[in-house]
Structure 1
Amino acid sequence: MTFFESRIGPDEIRSYLHSHGWMLIAQSPLAQIWKNGSTGDAEVMVPMHAGASDFTKRLRILLSDLVYSEQRDQKAIEADIASIFLDVTNLRAAHSSLIDDSIPLQAGYELFTSAQKLVVASAAATIRRQGHFRNLPLRARDHAKGVRLGHTKRGSYIVPILSQARAPELVYEAQQQHIDIDVEETLFDRRVTATMSRALDVLSSLVSGSRVPTHSEIGDAVGEGVSRELCRAVEGVIKSEAVEELDVSFNWSKVASPPAGSVPAVKFSRESEPLVAIVSDHLLHSPKVAEHVIFGVITELKRRPGDSTGRVGVETLLGGRRKIVWMDLGDESYHLALRCHDRGVPIVARGVLNNAPGRIAVMDVSEFGPDVSLFSQSQFDHN
């Protein structure tokens, strides 16, 4: 069994076929028959029991049929099926003088180290937004232990970061009263990758020219997930003489919509390293201001006629346990909260959190809206 085949089961196959326009036309406990919805002239059989003695044989027949139908390389199809439930972040170190897709040992070490730093920094920013984490949240460090690296790929030198993804429309429902702890833990992976994508895009914009970013611009970037730790991860790669450019691309899982506003790739040239260092140094010495980020579902809505604000209760995970966080929202945000509640759309809120032991948790909100790391804006608008 090949590397990719070992990671392919019935769920991966069916999700791949569905996302590529195939239609289920017949099934039994042992197998399913799918038809190409685009051409209508091809059918494939999906074996339904991964533990069966002939599963590998049936899988290879299926892959051969897909190669013929889609006119694509088998390895590419295998890789797409195996990663159907994964968000893949590719870190690419580019240099014109790289030999046989190799880079010097020290540059390779920095690239792998930066991968770990990017994940931890992004996980930390998914929990709290602050310019410098003197003490990284334990959950951010633990999260990095569960993220995996794929095989390096050809094309300069590419290191893939693999994160789990799942379709949120399958786990949230209208007027939901409680969150599922296991589901929320799983969705944290996608939220971290979405934070990484947005933060790197904002940082890239800050350092893409020759102008030094203003203090105000750097402060605003913190609200988007930029931190000193993120800057240091980027610096670690582009300061190397063996690397001319760091290219980070995002291949989002086909089972969940790409986060709203996400970009396919960001780039950092070696020439941008001095500006990245300036941003990093500013974040180190700026006042320590932290805002918490919470994700959850709206379970309580309270507003009296004539009031300018409404009281909203959001059930979220705090310390691994369900807890209601209360917040007062203005008219526009309250109506947005009402729409999210009625449509079963999870929300994200950022602000100062007061979660004293034994007390009601409250948040002074600076930003509120649907969790667009899971749903695209168009999905929400047309929901």
Structure 2
Amino acid sequence: MSEALHPLQLGSFKAWLTQHGWESVSRGQVGELFSFDVAGSSEITTSDDPGTRVGIPDDLGSDPEITAGVIERIARAMRREVSSIRHFVASPLRDQVELHLKGERLKAGAVPLDVAAEALKNSRRLFSSSGTSALAPGWTVARRYRREAQDLAKETELGHTKDGSFVFPFYVPLNRDRVATLFDVSETKIEPFERRTTRTLATGLQTARSLVERDVEGLSDEELNIASSVGLTKELCSSLHLMLTSEVIDEVQVNFEWSPAFGATNSLPTEIVIPRSERRQLKKLKRRLSQSEPVVSKVYSGTIRSIGHVDDDIGLYSITLDTSYKQEAAQLEVLLSKQQHDMAWPWYTDRATVVVQGTAARSLGQLRMDRPDRIEAWTDALF
């Protein structure tokens, strides 16, 4: 690396280490010493292994040789590929999405070229459709692909596949706009469009996985509206269906490794497995989403930007949701009862995806909803 990391980026990298079993044990004049938590890790490592302690200089990145040594020690302790750790050091503001093609016949060490090409083509389609859905939710994207989503799909990087496996690692940059990194740690960390895209991709995939286990034909329009608000689209179902077409593929697994730069990510999926046996159900779900969307009360989803009280005397509270309105990013103020406010507080601290249903209107230039018909956090159990 030719220049030192920005201090806030270094903080994000240290937060990532902490999330993955490392602990800060001491602080010196030139840096911080971290120890790998062997007991709390599933990795096979001995406690007397010198690789389990690593010093992180405050100017990490300024000296390529020192940086390379730090990366190698971290990778050795965690039993990870050096290249995967290097990505987090070089640019901690990334989300990593790994697409695994899995099947008994792949153990021979080869995959048909058209299968690999189909996986890459549809991976790009997943990013494009999810980015569009993040701004303009709907049952189908059709010809409404957003330029921002297509640009992000182009700029997402493909890393090296792991030896002996068909794993395609994608790195989604979260700091394409350098200004987005210049926040104070005490401030609310507003998610950039890139994180909204990966969040929408993850919740959309997990929602599809949940719905294919049910009677797809029996799903109500309201359920499909809620599902589409968190990223489910006809295009997402179609991409999964195409990836599972070949008989050599038994299942597709998608893993997410979230950057800690924009707050808690515990509410988001980290592993989603779609078996080939669900292809027929995916096709049915795709067909349902191809139908005309009904006119119903609007569903909005997003993370909570702020939470507070409007009037203590009458027990009126509110949240402000980062969402979309008329195919554009928007903020929606939702008025809540005290019970709803208490319920929403952990959603705010956990940075959970929240779903609200009701009628929103513009009031004094702001989008506002009085007493939602429905409000809950996105989880697998939502469906």
TM-score (norm 2): 0.69
Whether contact under 8 Å (1:354, 1:362) holds in the other structure is: yes
Question: Could you give the per-residue CA deviations for residues 194-230 of structure 1, whole angstroms, max 9, x where no partner exists?
Answer: 3322322232233358x55413265554354321121
- Match for residue 170 of structure 2 among 161, 170, 179: 161
Query: Residue type matched to 2:334 in 1?
Result: M
**Range with greater deviation from structure 2 (199-208 or 216-225):** 216-225
Change (3 A) 1:164 1:241: same
Deviates more, 1:33-42 or 1:143-152: 33-42
What are the equivalent positions in structure 2 for 1:41-60 lying under 5 Å apart?
A: 44-49=54-59, 52=62, 55-60=63-68
- Please say if 1:314 is aligned against 2:324: no
1:98 alignment partner, SS class: helix
For residue 109 of structure 1, what is the amino acid of its counterpart?
A: A
User: Does residue 356 of structure 2 align to residue 350 of structure 1?
Assistant: yes
**Counterpart code for 1:25:** S
Tell me if the contact between 1:316 and 1:323 (Cα under 8 Å) persists in the aligned partners: yes
Does 2:97 correspond to 1:97? no
Q: Does structure 2 conserve the Cα–Cα contact (< 8 Å) formed by 1:299 and 1:315?
A: no
Amino acid at match of 2:300: H
Partner amino acid, structure 2, of 1:158:
V
CA distance in 2, matches of 1:201, 1:322: 23
Cα gap change, 1:81 to 1:277, in 2 (>3 Å): same
Change (3 A) 1:155 1:131: farther
* 1:76–1:262 Cα change, 3 Å: same
Q: Is the 8 A contact 1:152 1:159 kept in 2?
A: yes
Q: Which residue of 1 aligns with 2:218?
A: 214
Q: How many percent identity over aligned positions?
A: 18
**CA distance, structure 1, for counterparts of residue 231 and residue 246 of structure 2:** 25
Find the counterpart in structure 2 of residue 106 from structure 1.
Answer: 114
Cα distance in 2 for partners of 1:153, 1:262 equals: 22
Distance 1:59 1:235, change over 3 A: same
Map 1:1-383 → 2, pairs under 5 A? 11=10, 14-15=14-15, 17-19=17-19, 20-23=21-24, 25-28=26-29, 31-34=30-33, 36=35, 44-49=54-59, 52=62, 55-63=63-71, 66=74, 70=77, 73=79, 76=81, 79-80=84-85, 82-83=87-88, 85-98=93-106, 101-134=109-142, 135-164=144-173, 183-186=189-192, 188-208=193-213, 212-216=216-220, 218=224, 221-253=227-259, 257-260=264-267, 262=269, 264-269=271-276, 271-289=277-295, 291-298=299-306, 301-303=309-311, 305-306=313-314, 310=316, 312=318, 314=320, 316=322, 325-336=332-343, 348=354, 350-351=356-357, 354=360, 359-363=365-369, 365-368=372-375
Q: In the alignment, is the contact (CA less than 8 A) between 1:314 and 1:324 conserved in 2?
A: yes
Measure the CA separation in 2 of the matches of 1:21 and 1:366: 43
Distance in 1 of aligned mates of 2:216 and 2:307:
45
Contact 1:114 1:237 in 2 (8 A): yes
1:298-355 deviation digits (Å, cap 9, x = unpaired) = 3663237457xx36362757799997633333442244457888x7978845346756
Q: Tell me the secondary structure at the aligned position of residue 275 of structure 2.
A: strand
8 A Cα contact 2:32 2:58, kept in partner: no
Q: Is the 8 A contact 1:132 1:288 kept in 2?
A: no
- More moved, 117-126 vs 275-284: 117-126
Q: Is the 8 A contact 2:125 2:239 kept in 1?
A: yes
Kindly state the Cα deviation for residue 265 of structure 1 after the two structures are TM-superposed.
2.6
Q: 1:17-63 deviations in whole A, cap 9, x for unaligned?
A: 544334253433xx3251537569955443443564xx222234445
Deviation at 1:112, TM superposition (A): 0.9
Q: Contact 2:267/2:352 (CA < 8 Å) preserved in 1?
A: no
Amino acid at match of 1:46: I
How many residue pairs match? The answer is 347
Give the gaps of 5 or more residues in structure 1: 373-383
Over the aligned positions, Cα root-mean-square deviation in angstroms equals: 4.5
Amino acid at match of 2:254: V
Distance, in Å, in 1 between the alignment partners of 2:233 and 2:211 is: 13
Structure 1 residues 144 and 26, CA gap change in structure 2 (3 angstroms): same
Distance, in Å, in 1 between the alignment partners of 2:346 and 2:14 is: 32
Aligned pair in 2 of structure 1 residues 358, 193: CA closer, same or farther (>3 Å)? same
- Kindly provide the amino acid, as one letter, of the partner of residue 189 in structure 1: E
Q: Which amino acid aligns with 2:251?
A: E
Return the offset for 1:283.
0.8
Segments of structure 2 that go 5 or more residues without pairing to the other structure are 38-46, 176-180
Contact 2:243 2:252 in 1 (8 A): yes
Q: Is the partner of 1:184 in helix, strand or coil?
A: coil
Residue 235 (structure 1) shift: 1.6
Alignment CA distance shift 1:44-1:17 (3 Å): same
